[in-house]
Amino acid sequence: MQNTADTRAAIAGLAIGVTTSARKTGAAKLTPLFRETVAGMPTSAEQEIRVLFATLEPGDRTPYHSHRFPVTVYILTGAFTLELDDRPPVTIRAGEAFVEPAGVRMTGRNLDAEQPTSMAIFYVCNPDTPFADPV
């Protein structure tokens, strides 16, 4: 059992983003992958957090749609090209992230002729909100 001082130190470390290590050599390191300030997040008393995985085969396209709240896309393999209304197309590659803004109509495509695109998708919304609204 840990003593009270160890417990307090561990909790303080978590509050500032540092975790403790089982070894005496140091603590686990956090590596920021992406950070962006956005508008349009839900403000209800409760929010639902969704983490989704998607694969687009070569040539696949998403339906033309919009989202009620921002969607963060992190590309694991391949590349994903987003065509957002009134904006130039954006291509996000493996290891990159992008926030799809709320209320903007869009479609996304895998333009590669051979390689699938896989991605992790993070969505914070009001409970039971549809992920996308067709347009």
Residue 42, in any domain of the structure: no
Least confident of 12-26, 39-53, 58-72: 12-26
Residue 130, in any domain of the structure: yes
What is the pLDDT at residue 29? 80
Question: Strand (E) positions, 40-132?
Answer: 48-56, 65-66, 71-77, 79-84, 90-93, 97-100, 106-109, 117-125
Query: Domain tally for the chain?
Result: 2
Q: Which residue has the higher pLDDT, 24 or 107?
A: 107
53/117 same-domain check? yes
Name the pLDDT band for 91 (thresholds 50, 70, 90). Answer: very high
Residue 85: domain span:
48-134
19/63 same-domain check? no
Count the neighbouring beta carbons within 10 Å of the beta carbon of residue 13: 15
What is the pLDDT at residue 126? 96
Say what the pTM is. 0.80
